[in-house]
Structure formats: C-alpha cells, structure tokens
Structure 1
Amino acid sequence: MATRVLQRAATGLKQTKNGFRAHGQVSVIARSLAAHREDSWFKSLFVRKVDPRKDAHATLLSKKEDNNLYKIQFHNVKPECLDAYNTLCEDVLPSIHTDPEYPCELVGTWNTWYGEQDQAVHLWRYRGGYPALTEVMNKLRQNKRFMDYRTERGKMLLSRRNQLLLEFSFWNEPVPRPGPNIYELRSYQLRPGTMIEWGNYWARAIEIRQQNQEAVGGFFSQIGSLYTVHHLWAYKDLQSRDDTRNAAWQREGWDEVVYYTVPLIQHMESRIMIPMKSSPLK
C-alpha cells in the first residue's frame, strides 16, 4: 500500500512544473506514511489480549462452599398506600422467613429514604441455589395466606422488578445485625465484559472498607438487568457514613481502586434505606 502511494506521488512529480514543490509533497507523504506505521505499531502494544476462559464469571467470582442464591425486589408503592404496604409485609414476610418448610431467609427489608421515593426493597437468600428457589415458589403457590398477600399487595403497587444475584466470594455473607442503622445500597451498571476486572479490584478494596464493619454484602446479577453489581453498607447515621467514606481516602490503595473501577461503570445509583420493623438487618 505504502509503495503504491509513493509510486503515484513520484509519477505526479514528473508532471509538475515546480519540481521543488513536488519533491516536498513526496517527502510529506513519506513522512506521513512512516509516522502512520510507527503509530500503528505503538498502538498495537496496548491492544488487550483476552485469554480464553472455560468458566463463566459467576463460577470464578461467587462463593462455592454455600451455593446461596439471592433475590432482590424493588417495589414502587403508591404514596398513599405506603403505611398499609409496610404493615402487610410485616405481617406476612416474617412467617415465611421463620418457617423451616421454606429453604429461604429474609436477609433485609427496607423503605428507601433518599433515592427513589415510596419504594420498598426486599433481599431474600435461598440456601441451595436454584432448586431451593423453585421449591419455595412452588410451595408459595399453595400457600393461601401468601396468595392473598400478593393480591392485596398488587393493589398498592405502581411497579415492581427483581433480580437474581450471586454473592462475591470476597464479601461478607449478610447476617442479622442490631440497630439502629441506616443502609446504603450502591448499584452499579457495568460495561459488558468487565465483571472479572471489577472483582479483581474489589477483592483488594474490601479489606480497606471493612475496618469500621460497614460492609454488609456484595452481589452481582445473574437474571434481570445483567452486569449489575450491588454493594450493601451499614452506618449509624448519615454523618458516620460521610466520615467513614472520607476516611477511606486516607488509606493506601483506595484512590487506585476508584481510579481503575470508575471507567468500568456505565451508570451508578445510591439509595439510603431505613429497615422495616421486621427486617433482620436492623
């Protein structure tokens, strides 16, 4: 390609009255082509080669010893129905949580304080993975009390959505904790293909953010909105949240984690949530 361009330029030289200018044109073209070749070679040094993998990121990043599956539910409630909705949930959901016939646990249930208003968030854990989820769903269809709850709940909602999640292997498993606390759910929509990279950085970062025991759980989606990550944090109040987050910047390595993970994010959202009375996470 470069040779043909130079040949055409040389031919143009014979047809030009001003030989000096034509020589200059050939020199400019030659320098341009040389620079292009050098630039292409330089860029090739930074092409990221992806090693072939035979494991899904779910297998590489999730905990293997407990086979837990999580479901997170977002319910947008009619403003005038929020109190009645909370009462209904507090009456029915704990009965499923405590019944040994259902292989599931209510990890936490909240109302959003700051973020999307008049919203409830429920987090369930299914010990045994997808088979446990299927068992619970089949049993609930035969549970008249729960089906009545669903019918009544439907009258109070504007919309609802859910996701099935796995927990990152390097995060704590969420366990009941005393209160009072506020909770922050930070949700990240990642660029497709970056989940492994995110996990590699946060496997180190979580050590920095555990010093005040604020880390509750970390999850990534399997069904629903994909390449979504949820980090759940607990704080005594908004001021302690601010102090804790500012203190992280004084610890070695935190700035590097932020620097390298921000480019992986397409969208992020923060919710400050207040536990319902029936929430195991107080």
Structure 2
Amino acid sequence: MHCINRRVASQSLKAVCTARFASSNPSGRQPNEAASDQSKQERGSQDASREPERPPLPTQSSPSGSQSWLGKLLQGQHRTIETGHESHSRKLAKKGVIYEMQTHNVRPDQRAEYINTYGEFVEAALKNQKVESNLVGSWMVETGGDQDQAIHIWKYNNGYVAFDHTSKALREDKKLQDFQNKLGKSLRSRQNQAMLSFSFWGDPEPSEAKRIYELRTYTLKPGTLIEWGNHWARAIHLRKSREDGVGGFFTQIGPLYVVHHIWAYADLEARKDARDAAWSSPGWDDCVANTVPLIREMNSRIMIGNSFSPLK
C-alpha cells in the first residue's frame, strides 16, 4: 500500500511539472533543445554582425578626379532600349539615300586582271542611263584581312527605287552582263549589303589625296543600334575635327546590326597619332565605355584605293 501511494504521489508530481513546463514552453521542445537553439541564434547574430561588407567594384580615376573609361566599363552603364513608333533607320539615317557595299574575294592569280576589268565595268555603268548609282569608293585590302579582297561602295540617291532600276539593268543589259560574267571568272566569292548612312557622319566626298583607308566593322547586339548612334553622334566631332572621318553606315539588307566606319589617314603612323590624340579629347573615353558593351564582334582592315576610285 505504501509503495502504491509513493508511486501515485510521484506520478502526480510529474504531471504538475509537465503542465507547468508546457505553459511556459508553447513549442513543446525540451529545455536543453530550446537552450541549444537560442545559443545557435546568438552565435549566428554575432557572426552576421562580424561579416564585412562587400567592397564596391574597383574603379580608376583620372588625374582630374573623374572616373576613367576602364572604371566606367567595369562598373557598366545603365542602358535601356529605346522604343517608339518610328523605325531605327528613320531616326538615324539621311532619308532617301541607299548605299551598297560589294565585297569581292579575288583569285590571287587574277588580281591585276580583275582590277582592270572592274575599272572598265565602272566606266560602262556610269555611261548607262539605266544605272542610277554612282561609285563612292573602290579599294583593295592590304592589311588586316583577305589580301585579295576588293571593297566597292555605290550610292543610290533615289533610294530603293534606284536600287531596283540598277539591278534590273545589270540583269538585262548585255554589255553589263558580259562584264559581270568576266568578273565572275576572277572571283572566289562575292557578297553585297544594302546600307544607310548615319546622318551625323554626312556623305563621303571624293578626294584626290593619296591616303590609306581603314574600314572598321562592328557587329552589334540586336536592339542597340539607337544607343550606338546616340553615343557616336556626340563623339564623332572629336575625330572629324582632324578630317579623317569618311563615312559611317549600318546595314539594312544582308547581315543585320552591322556598322561600318571608314577613316582616312596619310599613313599608318598618322593613324596611330590620330587615335592617340582622340584619347586626350574630353568625352572620348565616355564613348568607348558606353559602346564597347554593345559590340559582339569587330574587325579592322586597311585598304588602298584603286586608280578609278573617287576616293584615292
């Protein structure tokens, strides 16, 4: 009996303690578990308070204290794609004028004959009233690409109407067809692009001065042409003040989002001097920092004008 009473008393005491613990610990955890969780939370808070803040991306400053082009490029610039109810070509180009760039890859053993034949073709085309275009420039690549590559640029003042009329004449005029067939025998391949000229560049003008020409080609990310044009519209005067800018174009038919810039120099050393001088012009580093992220691919070719080219 006494043993039974002691067991009952012990169970009653245990029930009271359990009830009191439950009222003070709604989570139902054992005291040692709650203490362990509290200790972990305190240690986590202390560790978080001791964790150093992430430093900003490194930037460089120019002597004047302004951020350098490299710093701007590393940090990146906030960019938005402009939207509107007008096409990019209408916003960026001179209306009504189309340019064609022809790229001919010549057989090395036919180089001299090809140049002579193309000169004769140009003369015949300009005399044909059905051909509504004018030759802007004709060059052979010398450095930076296929050394047996010819680049020709034609201008159509009446836009696609003139382009269509000229294409029809090339298909139907027997004399022009004969020249086309003869040229084809000297080629490995050929391609063309229809282009518009950036309005802020102006039109290429004939020049009798003997110079070298640099054709810089940029393949842009789709949707970035307006941004490219906006930056270059502000920066072009920094280069054209040295009278080395010939023309700037962007494609409409052919590989799209391709931009071509043509520069003229007395020689390669003059090219180096002009490019170095551009970096000393305020704002040029901004143009580079803002346009480099827009580019997918770029290349440069040095060209020499053919004897019949309006741009020598």
Shift of 1:21: 4.7
The number of equivalent residue pairs is 257
Does the CA-based 8 Å contact 2:235-2:283 persist in structure 1? yes
Please give the alpha-carbon distance, in whole angstroms, between the structure 2 residues aligned to 1:217 and 1:13. 80
1: CA distance between counterparts of 2:270 and 2:237?
Answer: 19
Larger radius of gyration: 2
Local SS of the residue matching 2:38: helix
Asked if the contact 2:130–2:165 (Cα under 8 Å) also holds between the matched residues in 1, the reply is no
How much does 1:155 deviate?
1.7
Per-residue CA deviations over 1:197-233 (Å, capped at 9, x if unaligned) read: 0000100111111112111111000111110000011
**In structure 1, the residue corresponding to 2:240 is in which secondary structure?**
coil
Give the drift of 1:52.
3.5
SS at 2:109 equivalent: helix
Partner of 2:171: 141
AA aligned opposite 1:88: T
Code of the aligned partner of 1:128 = N
Correspondence 1:232 to 2:262:
yes
Using a 3 Å threshold, how does the CA distance of structure 1 residues 140 and 262 change in structure 2: closer, same or farther? same
| 1:97-154 Cα shifts (integer Å, max 9, x gaps) | 3444421001001100112220000101111111110001111222212211221222
CA RMSD in angstroms, aligned pairs only: 2.6
| 1:19 aligned residue (37, 46, 53) | 37
The residue aligned with 1:263 is 293
TM-score for both structures, normalised by structure 2 = 0.76
TM-score, normalization by structure 1: 0.84
Query: What code does the residue aligned with 2:38 have?
Result: F
Q: Are 2:100 and 1:62 aligned?
A: no
Query: Is the aligned partner of 1:165 residue 2:195?
Result: yes
Partner of 1:91: 120
Deviation of the 1:193 alpha carbon: 0.7
Paired residue type of 1:59: R
Shift of 1:27: 6.1
Structure 1 match to 2:105: 76
Rounded Cα–Cα distance in structure 1 between residues aligned with 2:27 and 2:179: 85
Contact 2:124 2:176 in 1 (8 A): no
Superposed, 1:171-250 pairs within 5 Å as 171-250=201-280
For residue 209 of structure 1, give the secondary structure of its aligned residue in structure 2.
helix
Decide whether aligned partners of structure 1 residues 25 and 126 sit closer, same or farther in structure 2, where only a CA change above 3 A counts: farther
Distance 1:159 1:54, change over 3 A: same
In the other structure, the counterpart of 2:16 is none
Mapped pair 1:52 → 2:70: no
Measured in 2, the distance between the counterparts of 1:48 and 1:206 equals: 20
Deviations 1:83-109 (CA, angstroms, capped at 9, x unpaired): 111111011113213444421001001
- Amino acid in structure 1 at the alignment position of 2:297: H
Please list every run of 5 or more consecutive structure 2 residues that lacks an aligned counterpart in the other structure: 1-25, 50-76
Rounded to whole Å, the distance in 2 between the matches of 1:162 and 1:115 is 20
Q: Aligned pair in 2 of structure 1 residues 21, 154: CA closer, same or farther (>3 Å)?
A: farther
Percent of aligned positions that are identical:
44
Equivalent in the alignment of 1:113: 142
- In structure 2, the partner of 1:131 is 161
- CA 1:151/1:260 → structure 2, altered by over 3 Å: closer, same or farther? same
Q: Does the 8 Å contact 1:209/1:215 carry over to 2?
A: yes
Distance in 2 (CA, whole Å) between partners of 1:268 and 1:216 is 18
Task: Quote the Cα distance in structure 1 between the aligned partners of 2:228 and 2:256.
Answer: 14
Residue identity matched to 1:136:
T
1:4 aligned partner: none
